[in-house]
Amino acid sequence: MRRFSLGAAAATLALATATGAALAAKEVEVLHWWTAGGEAAALNVLKEDLAAQGVGWVDMPIAGGSGVEAMTVLRARVAAGNAPVAVQLLGFDITDWAKEGALAPLDDVAEAEGWEEVVPGALKDFAKYDGHWIAAPVNVHSTNWVWANKALLDELGIAQPTTWEEFVAALEAVQAAGKVALAHGGQAWQDATIFDSAVLIAGGPEFYKKSMIDLDPEALGSETMVKAFEVMKTLRGFVDPNFSGRDWNLASAMVINGEAAFQIMGDWAKGEFLGAGKTPGEDFLCFRVPGTEGVVTFNADQFAMFKVSDPEKIEAQKAMAAAILSPPFQIAFNTVKGSVPARVDVSDADFDACGKQAMADLAAADEAGTLLGSMGHGYANPAAVKNAIYDVVTAHFNGEYDSTTAAEELVTAVEIAQ
Ligand code: BGC
């Protein structure tokens, strides 16, 4: 018995060593910021998919929502001549790295897998540079969502709000009942996430385009922009005193456990609800920020492959890129992550109610010309401009500027950043 066990252990060890050697040969080091519960669960789907294909995973997680900290680490790694093999990137950051010539082309994978026909145009604008594929989009998220605790709303007799005015009334009713009305974390990127919706509430999609995407100084300094900052001020009145610095997933947890009624956050928040065993429509509600319906402020996580010379690594990069856009993987990953597929030919059958709505909203907005890049998540303008907008939005949110001054500061900050 004893001898048999030892033999089996030795065989297992030999096998593990052999597998380990194979994995070590073909592996990707992946820099990402998916460290919250729902994010990590989705990341595991990717890790396991790659493992099944014999591609090993070297994890390089950098905590911090929206990747602000991850981008700082990435710059340091590249400057030190030690770029990661694969990197999670958003929007204009992809373009910026492509401009620097840092990204490996993925044209052969794209051609073999038929990406051209299935990836939505809004994502291709960022996944391609100068006619070449330089990133593999893994999903589509959007920022103009509200997440609500259904039991709490039912208990307080509050119906799902359908206009901005009704939303404010609902927030007031929750506050009057002694609960936290709006779960929020005071971090610049989270303030910017709700600013996407504030701009839409104040001026609609055309105004969003003019101000956030075209950076028209007149729009940036307009009365409508003052109104957007007033929307932010109203929302600021509904957060709890401990909001400063709170991570977004902890704000989601406040809604999940009934401490708070609402959170305005991208649909990665759904990953937290699902991870806590909650069901959409029964335990929680998802709906577009009232006053922004018909518009989708999107962001898509994409994986870019940094140039490397080792042929094994190049092979692993290609395997990863191909895996990311395969239809079964798109379903397995996005149903966990809270996002929707980055290809137009995937059925919504396996998605929950929020996912189905997200897919329908995306298609409708694309058709109507109201699928707009999220400023908060790097799809409206390059990092320098985005960070300048973050600074003004956060300073205003924290009471440093009144709304008129904030609009004036926005004009100046954006001008300097360009
Ligand atoms: C990313 C999401 C991520 C969220 C919070 C967004 O910028 O697109 O994938 O879950 O940040 O970290």
Is pLDDT of 5 > 70?
no
**CA of 349 relative to ligand 1 center, distance in Å:** 24
Q: Residue 298's pLDDT is what? A: 98
pLDDT value of residue 59: 97
On whether residue 184 sits in a domain, the answer given is: yes
CATH number for the domain that contains residue 90: 3.40.190.10
268 and 133 both lie in a single domain: no
User: Is a pLDDT exceeding 90 seen at residue 1?
Assistant: no
The CB of 299 under 6 Å from ligand 1? The reply is yes
Q: What is the pLDDT of residues 332-369, one digit of tens each?
A: 999 999 999 999 999 999 999 999 999 999 999 999 99
Residue at 365 is within a domain: no
Give the start-end residues of each E strand in 283-385: 284-288, 296-299, 301-305, 371-373
Is there a single domain that holds both residue 291 and residue 326? no
Domain that holds residue 67: 6-141+298-358
Whether 31 and 75 share a structural domain: yes
Does residue 343 belong to any structural domain of this protein? Answer: yes
**39 CB within 6 A, ligand 1:** yes
User: For residues 387 and 192, is the Cβ–Cβ distance under 8 A?
Assistant: no
Q: Are residues 227 and 316 in the same domain?
A: no
Q: What is the pLDDT of residue 26?
A: 87
Nearest CA to ligand 1 atom 10: 268
Distance (Å, rounded) from C-alpha 273 to C-alpha 37? 10
- pLDDT tens digits, residue range 72-98? 999 999 999 999 999 999 999 999 999
Asked if pLDDT for residue 156 goes beyond 80, the answer is yes
With a pLDDT cut of 90, the percent of the chain lying above it is 94
| Nearest-angstrom CA–CA distance, 135 and 189 | 23
The domain tally of the chain equals: 2
Which residue has the CA at smallest separation from atom 12 of ligand 1?
Answer: 65
Mean pLDDT to the nearest integer, 220-249:
98
Residue 289: per-residue pLDDT: 98
Average the pLDDT over 116-134 and give the result.
97
pLDDT value of position 378: 98
- 43/131 same-domain check: yes
Domain limit, last residue, from 313, 331, 358: 358
Nearest 10 degrees: Cα torsion 11, 17, 23, 29 = 140
**Do residue 134 and residue 148 come from a single domain?**
no
What does the pLDDT average to over 34-56? 96
**Residue 141 in contact with ligand 1 by CB distance below 6 A:** yes
State whether 264 and 403 are in the same domain.
yes
Residue 2 has pLDDT above 50, yes or no: no
Average pLDDT, the chain: 94
The answer on 240 and 380 residing in a single domain is yes
The total number of residues written for the chain in this structure: 418
Gap from CA of 197 to ligand 1 centroid (Å): 17
φ and ψ at residue 119, rounded to 5 degrees:
-85, 130
Rg (C-alpha) for the chain, rounded Å, is: 22
Distance 285 CA to ligand 1 centre (A): 20
Q: What is the mean pLDDT of residues 261-267?
A: 98
pLDDT at 21: 42
Q: Are residues 87 and 120 in the same domain?
A: yes
Q: In whole angstroms, what is the distance from residue 83 CA to residue 89 CA? A: 14
Which H or E element spans position 389?
Answer: helix 383-397
User: Is there a single domain that holds both residue 130 and residue 180?
Assistant: no
Evaluate whether residue 17 is within a structural domain. yes
Among 358, 379, 397, the domain boundary falls at: 358
Sign of the dihedral defined by the CA atoms of residues 338, 344, 348, 349, in that order: negative
Whether 205 shows a pLDDT value over 70: the answer reads yes
In a domain, 380, yes or no: yes
What pLDDT, on the 0 to 100 scale, is given for residue 329?
97
Residues 135 and 90: beta-carbon distance below 8 Å: no
Domain co-membership, 10 together with 130: yes
Q: Is the model's pLDDT at 308 over the cut of 70?
A: yes
Q: Is residue 337 part of a domain?
A: yes
Distance CA 297, CA 365 (A): 9
Euclidean distance between CA atoms 211 and 225, whole angstroms: 8
User: 132 and 146: one domain?
Assistant: no
Calculate the dihedral angle through the C-alpha atoms of 374, 33, 333, 115, rounding to the nearest 10 degrees.
60
β 284-288/145-149 pair status = antiparallel
Residue nearest to atom 9 of ligand 1 (CA): 301
Residue 4 has pLDDT above 80, yes or no: no
Which candidate, 209, 371, 192, places its Cα nearest to that of 295? 371
Mean pLDDT to the nearest integer, 264-288: 98
Asked if the structure places residue 363 within a domain, the reply is no
Rounded percentage of the chain residues whose pLDDT exceeds 70: 94
At residue 197, the pLDDT reads: 99
Res 6: pLDDT: 36
CA-nearest of 290, 184, 186, 196 to 239 is: 184
Q: Per the domain annotation, does 364 fall within a domain?
A: no
What band does 25 get if pLDDT is binned at 50, 70 and 90?
low
With a 6 A CB cut-off, is 33 part of the ligand 1 pocket? yes
